[in-house]
Structures are given as structure tokens and as C-alpha cells.
Amino acid sequence: MTSTLDAQPARHGTAAEPRPGDPEITPELVSEHGLSTDEYEQIVRTLGRTPTYAELGVFSAMWSEHCGYKNSKRLLRLLPTEAPWVIQGPGENAGVIDAGDGYALAFKIESHNHPSAVEPYQGAATGVGGILRDIFTMGARPIAVLDSLRFGDLDSGRVRYLFDGVVRGVGDYGNCVGIPNIGGEVHFDRGYEGNPIVNAMCLGLMKRDDLILGEASGVGNPLMAVGARTGRDGIHGATFASEELSEDSQHSRPQVQIGDPFTEKLLLEASLELIKSGHIVGIQDMGAAGITSSASEMAGRAGSGVEIDTAKVPVREPGMTPYEILLSESQERMLVVAKAGHEGHVEAILNKWELEAAVIGAVTDDGMFRVREGDRVVAEIPALPLTDGCPTYEREGIESDEVRALRERDLGHVLRDGDLSDALLDLLDSPNIGSKRWIYDQYDSTVRASTVAEPGGDAGIVRIRGTNRAIAATTDCNGRYTYLEPRVGAMIAVAEAARNLACVGASPVAITNNLNFGNPERPHIYFQLREAVLGMAEACGVFETPVTGGNVSLYNETDGAAIYPTPVIGMVGLIADVSHVTGSGFRAVGDAIVLFGECADELGGSEYLYRATGEVAGAPPRVDLLAERALQRLLLDLGRQGLLHSAHDCSEGGLAVALAESAIAGTEGRFGCDVSLDDELPGTALLFSETQGRVVVTVEPARLDLVLEAAGAHGVPAKRIGTVERAGHGLKIRSPRAEVSVSLEAAARQYFSAIPRRMEQNVSVDRAATSPPT
């Protein structure tokens, strides 16, 4: 373990004095602030003196993993971040890409795992609120939200309580602000029992010229606090998010912020109006670490300094100390750098939207992050060392022997032949495979009247009003694969995301990522993190989908047990003509069913294995990035020519589940199918392996030759495997060693009741048993 970026001694020496009543700075207090002895010594060198209590709080927040990326920064540098269509890469509130016709698309994903683990409703709600603000502070109007969720198994009452609360929280916040939720994913596995994952992604659209950055430039320009008042909620949320969870974490509820989507909606409209007005030079969300991070980061980016007077910050209650004001994570607040002399105009716009604006400080030229409380200077810290001087660590990474043994386990015991109808019906009843309608029916997916496809397809799509263009987005990651083999798992996450986009007819262009991992100070976890980043970098390089930003959430552990490493990929794609969009459901009786890609015996990490034996073992499926790229290009080519009636990728549950989903879950009603496979693979391996690089498409018989020829030209293996039938025919699959024959009613019953029937059990009883006293 090494700490680089050594402290720059303060140029003039800094001056700040303790405030009467401040606690003494002791090693215990330093440790409670999540800072190591080395880090504390670096702070002392930076300041040339002992920090004040307020300064200690500021460093604690800014040098937390959440704000400072101290364990991940060096790895993140390995990711590709550039392409001609990237307008803004990592480092800002959100990444921005060129969306064509003078439009730019801002997008980002962010986690709210820790808050959601202790207070699911507010934790999830404020996660959505935060990611919306990251988008509209760029000058973009939010046009879509996606959510990527992970929970333990639904047979636990506590898990059902968390799941129910998170879904309500995500829904209520986005519904109220009026941003359609167009997709996402959810997985249930005991690996997430104590630590749910709640990642929210937002997309926003703007005219290229409206882009604005979070910079505090122009000496003398006023800093203004805008939106909600500052209260005592969420103090030290960033530090909390950078620790492991334990029994005691339930007492961290006061660190969870409370969301107010109505104020957010007003703030959204006011911010966009402000940005267009020309009265401001910079704007930033007061998110994690509140005023501290927004003000110091804006100064850091501009190479300027800032001075803030906490006595001028509008507060919710009297008696708040500078420490509390600096570290409050009260929601729905923005920091605005106005043009000097334009304060009145800014205030007028905020007042129109029934919000407050107050001048709380100014931009300076001395490079300091200075905080006053009236006449007393309570913090004076060089801004750049604070924001960019956070010590970064490259740690030792060693694969766990236990995981290696799991990966090398032989899975011969789950190979079966014969009638596998019941096995398919059982898979359709898995909450990981079954319909997610129970979730998305609680999310407004059609507000803004621009959503193209219904949620539940391979990717969400919104059109750009006034053009033929549309934008598609998806989130993907299979934590089991990443657990068993992190590098391969991360590659698959990127490949699956790109495949999902290509299936609907969108060209993949960029990603935002959310790295959800355990405690990186443990070598087995650091190994996962490093390997996953390497896998992601390789796949993004091959697909030319640079990373434009994202979020790192480490320390996802409860009582020493880490989650599966879960590097969620949020990928966006562009559709030049919205009429080229392809759905995932079968559309016409008599259509030829064609399989792109080849089948293999790859049950490692599969849902079938988990359902059949409870194991998470074996090697995850192999992934051939060049073959994936060829498949994506083939799908886009065919989509543009209008040759496909449907396209659906094979993922959890394998080929049999993909066929079943296309049969029962399409928007054009239900269809049967008759499929005949000539592979000699064992039955369960053929039907349920999650082999990558496969897509099931349907085409009119008259166009079959064209499609097969195109596949040949792209070098993608393709063969006709069957025909779409009437619903009454049922779902029939035959191979030399296995067969499936189920009615559509039976399949649909399993598929659509998988989640609802589990959630109809009482959640509140368990809640009472596991919640802390309030």
C-alpha cells in the first residue's frame, strides 16, 4: 500500500481557528471520521497545523471513497474515455455525447446502496433525486430514468421489505418529477442479502450550445445557495457510504436524507431557466458532502478559490454549526456561481418557481476553500489538494482460493436429458427471469409522451421530439459471473448491454458505470475490482463505447460478507430512424425463427444451476468480443433494412427462456413456436446454458435467405431453428437429447406471477421485527 500525491505545503500557511465548543482533535476523533493516521498526517502537512473540527469534517468527506475515489482512481484511469462523439468525459457531473441534429445527451449512473440498506424508501428516492440533479446541472432536461437493483432472495421478509420500499421510492420520486422510467434490471440472489444495490441512471437532452459546467470562475462572482434550505439531515452520508454495514448501521438512519420530489421539480425548471438566462457561469448539485464538495470541486475545476460564510446559508433550524452546514446532505439544493451584479435576476427566477436563493460567498483568486462564520474563519484549506490531493491507493489483489475452487467445480451433476418441460416452467417462475411488470407498473414510463417501447424489452427507448431520432439505454451486469471470474463477468456485462441495444436497433455509443464492490482493503476484493476494470476496459475498447463517467460504491459488506462484485454497465445507443426499432416478442405466425451464434455446454454461474442446486459455481460463459461486435453489426444492418420481425438476446435461462419470453411477453399478443435443434449437447446444457453471443430473431420466410446471407457476410453463425406458431400450439422444443412441450398458459402463469406471488406475502410483519426502534 502506497500513498502518492504527497501534500503540497500551503503556500502562505493557512489560518483558521477552532470554534468555541468544538471537540478536541484526538486520534479517536480522526478515526471516527474514517481517516487513517497517514491521511491525517498528510492533512496536517497540507495545512501546516492541526485542522479545526470543521476542517476535519471537510477532509473526511472529500477524502472518503465516495468523493475521493481513493481506492479506485488509479484503476479508473485504465478505462477508455475518448471518442469523436464524446463532448464531456469523466470529471463533471455527467458525461455528454453528441446525439446528432445539434442535440447532446448527458447521462450518468449513481448508487444509493448504503442509504437504501437502512431506509429503502428514502434511500432509493433520494438516489433518483441525486442523479436527476447531476443531469440538469449540465443544462440538460432529464428525459428518462433506469434503475438497476439487486436484493437477496425473496423468501426473506426483510428482503421483501427492502425490495418493496426501494421500488416505491424509485417510483414515487421519478413519477412526481415526471421523468419516465424506461427500464433497468433486478436480480435476486443470497449474495445481496444484507446489502441491496440501488443504482439509478438518468439521461438528459439538450441543445449542444446549452452545455454548462460546474466551474467557479470569475473572481468576485457571487456563490449562491439555491433551492431547499440546509438542515441537519444526511450529515456525513459520504463517509457512511464508504464504510461497511453492520448491525449498528441501522442507527445510521439519521444519515439518510429525505427526498422532496416536488421541490426537485421546481428546482429542475428553475435551473434550466437559469442556465438559459445567461445570468450564471456555473452550477452544481449539492450532493454527497453537500456545500463542501460542490464549492471545493467548482473551485478546483476552475483553478480558483472560494469563500463561504455559513452564517448566510439559509437553514431549516437555528443553531446549526459550520460543521453541520458544511456537511449536510439535505436534498434539492444547488450551488450557483452567478455573474456579479446579476444576483437579483437569479433571485427573481428562483422566486418565480417559489424557491429561495441566497448569496453565501464569492469566487476568490487565492486557491483557498475558505469558510467563515461571520468574522471567524473556521476553515481554510487549499482547494486543489482538497479535491485532487486525496491519497490514492494501489492495493494488493489476490484471488480468493475459495472462489477459484468454485469456478473449477465440475457441473456434471446437473446435466440431464429427456423431458425438460418442468425445468423450463420452474425457471420461468424465478424472480430473476419472470416478468418485472410488478415493478414497472409502479413507474410512470410514458410521461413526456416520447417513450417508444414498453419497459420489459431488451432496452428502453425515447424518441427526440421533432426528429426521427431516438435514444436507447440499458443497464446490465450479472454478479454471479463477475464473482466467479471478474474479468470475464465485466466483459459480459458490456457485451450484453451492447447486444441489448443492437437488438432494438440502436448503435451502442458510450457507457457510464457503477462499480459496486466490497471492501477494497481486502486483497480478494481488490482483485475483483482490478480484474473487472480490466475486463470492462477491454470490452469498451473493442466496441468503441468509451466510459464518460460513473460512480464507485465500495464497502458493500455486512458483517464481513461482501456482495458479489457488481460493475453495472449503463449503456446508451443512438437510433437514426425510430421506425427501425425492433421488439423482442414474436409478431406473426409462420415467421422463421433464426438463431444467431452457437450453443455450448456452459452452465457455470447460470440461473438453472442456482435453481436446481442452489450453487453459484463453475466457470461463467466465455465471451468472444470480436464475435459480439460482428453480431451487433449484423443486427443493426438487418434492423436498418427492416428485415427483422423480432430480436431477443439469450441471457439468464438460456435459449429456452429466450424463446419462451418472445412467445409470451411480446406486445403483439402470444404465439406458440415449434423449434428443432440438432446439437448433440446434454439437454439441460443445450437449453439453459447462458452462452454469450446469441440472439433469437424472427423473419418472414421469404426474407430468410437474405438474413442468412447477411449473417454469412458478417461472419455470424446462423441457422433456422423453427417456426412461429399460433398460441394454441404451445411452446415446443426438440433436440436429439431433450424436449420441451408446455402450453402458453402454463408458461405465462409462471412468468407473470413469479414476483407478484412472492410479494403478496406480508412484508410489514418482518419489517417490525428487523427495524430499529424509532
Partner 1 sequence: MRVAVVTFPGSNCDHDGYHAFKLVGADTRFLWHRETDLSDTDAVLLPGGFSYGDYLRSGAIARFSPVMEAVVAFARAGGPVLGICNGFQILCEAGLLPGTLLRNESRRFRAHDVWIRVERSDTPFTLAYEAGRVLRVPIAHADGNYFADSDTLARIEDRGQVVFRYTDPDGNPDPAYNPNGAQNRIAGIVSEQGNVLGMMPHPERAVESVHSSTDGLGVFQSLVTSLQPVP
Looking at the annotation, which residues are catalytic?
66, 112
Identify the residue among 258, 447, 534, 763 touching partner 1 (CB under 8 A): 447
Identify the residue among 242, 294, 392, 445 touching partner 1 (CB under 8 A): 445
Identify the residue among 199, 310, 450, 689 touching partner 1 (CB under 8 A): 450
Does 347 interact with partner 1 (rule: CB under 8 A)? no
Mask: binding to partner 1, 178-197, rule CB under 8 A, as x and -? x-------------------
Does 176 interact with partner 1 (rule: CB under 8 A)? yes
How far is 333 from 40, CA to CA, in rounded Å?
30
Q: Smallest distance from the beta carbon of 167 to partner 1, in angstroms?
A: 9
Does 82 interact with partner 1 (rule: CB under 8 A)? no
Does 441 interact with partner 1 (rule: CB under 8 A)? yes
How far is 333 from 291, CA to CA, in rounded Å?
9
Does 74 interact with partner 1 (rule: CB under 8 A)? no
Nearer CB in complex with partner 1: 99/266: 266
Q: Smallest distance from the beta carbon of 429 to partner 1, in angstroms?
A: 22
- Residues 260, 263, 265, 268: what is their CA dihedral angle, to the nearest 10 degrees? -120
Only one of the segments 168-176, 224-232, 623-631, 686-694 lies at the binding site for partner 1 (rule: CB under 8 A); that segment is 168-176
Nearer CB in complex with partner 1: 141/729: 141
Q: How many residues bind partner 1 (CB under 8 A)?
A: 34
Positions in 400-439 near partner 1 (CB under 8 A): 437
Does 463 interact with partner 1 (rule: CB under 8 A)? yes
Only one of the segments 55-63, 257-265, 410-418, 485-493 lies at the binding site for partner 1 (rule: CB under 8 A); that segment is 257-265
How far is 498 from 474, CA to CA, in rounded Å?
9
Identify the residue among 84, 449, 773, 774 touching partner 1 (CB under 8 A): 449
Give the length of the chain: 774
Q: Smallest distance from the beta carbon of 713 to partner 1, in angstroms?
A: 31
Beta bridge partners of 197: 150
How far is 54 from 292, CA to CA, in rounded Å?
10
Q: Are 48 and 368 in contact (CB under 8 A)?
A: no
Nearer CB in complex with partner 1: 416/437: 437
Instruction: Tell me the residue type at 260.
Output: D
Q: Smallest distance from the beta carbon of 765 to partner 1, in angstroms?
A: 17
- Picking from 103, 93, 178, 185, the residue whose alpha carbon sits closest to that of residue 143 is 178
Nearer CB in complex with partner 1: 262/613: 262
How far is 494 from 540, CA to CA, in rounded Å?
7
With the C-alpha atoms ordered 720, 685, 695, 488, is the resulting torsion angle positive or negative?
A: negative
Beta bridge partners of 188: 151
Only one of the segments 167-175, 310-318, 400-408, 719-727 lies at the binding site for partner 1 (rule: CB under 8 A); that segment is 167-175
Only one of the segments 164-172, 378-386, 473-481, 502-510 lies at the binding site for partner 1 (rule: CB under 8 A); that segment is 164-172
Identify the residue among 96, 117, 177, 554 touching partner 1 (CB under 8 A): 177
Q: Are 465 and 694 in contact (CB under 8 A)?
A: no
DSSP state of 130: H
Q: Inter-axis angle of helices 744-753 and 654-664, to 10 degrees?
A: 100
Could you give the C-alpha distances from 22 to 51, 241, 322, in angstroms and in order?
A: 11, 25, 10
Q: Smallest distance from the beta carbon of 128 to partner 1, in angstroms?
A: 14
Identify the residue among 4, 446, 641, 762 touching partner 1 (CB under 8 A): 446
CA atoms within 13 A on the CB side of 516: 32
Identify the residue among 6, 354, 422, 559 touching partner 1 (CB under 8 A): 354
Nearer CB in complex with partner 1: 242/263: 263
The 3-state DSSP class for residue 36 equals coil
In 597-671, DSSP assigns E strands to: 646-649
Identify the residue among 197, 238, 266, 298 touching partner 1 (CB under 8 A): 266
- Picking from 272, 296, 16, the residue whose alpha carbon sits closest to that of residue 142 is 272
Nearer CB in complex with partner 1: 164/538: 164
Does 171 interact with partner 1 (rule: CB under 8 A)? yes
Identify the residue among 45, 158, 312, 448 touching partner 1 (CB under 8 A): 448
How far is 186 from 431, CA to CA, in rounded Å?
9
User: Can you read off the three cell numbers belonging to residue 9?
Assistant: 505545503
Q: Are 369 and 251 in contact (CB under 8 A)?
A: no
Q: Smallest distance from the beta carbon of 581 to partner 1, in angstroms?
A: 9
Tell me whether strands 731-734 and 672-676 are parallel, antiparallel or unpaired.
parallel
Only one of the segments 176-184, 280-288, 402-410, 658-666 lies at the binding site for partner 1 (rule: CB under 8 A); that segment is 176-184
How far is 674 from 598, CA to CA, in rounded Å?
19
Q: Smallest distance from the beta carbon of 508 to partner 1, in angstroms?
A: 21
Whose cell is 454549526? That residue is: 321
How far is 201 from 462, CA to CA, in rounded Å?
14
Q: Smallest distance from the beta carbon of 579 to partner 1, in angstroms?
A: 8
Only one of the segments 165-173, 535-543, 607-615, 653-661 lies at the binding site for partner 1 (rule: CB under 8 A); that segment is 165-173
Does 101 interact with partner 1 (rule: CB under 8 A)? no
What count of other Cβ atoms lies within 10 Å of the Cβ of residue 606?
Answer: 31
Does 172 interact with partner 1 (rule: CB under 8 A)? yes
- Picking from 275, 400, 265, the residue whose alpha carbon sits closest to that of residue 336 is 275
Does 465 interact with partner 1 (rule: CB under 8 A)? yes
User: Can you read off the three cell numbers belonging to residue 695?
Assistant: 440472439
Phi-psi region of 448 (alpha: psi -120 to 50; beta: other; left: phi over 0): left
Give the interface with partner 1 as residue ranges (CB under 8 A). Answer: 168, 171-172, 175-178, 260-263, 265-266, 353-354, 437, 440-452, 454, 463, 465, 578, 667
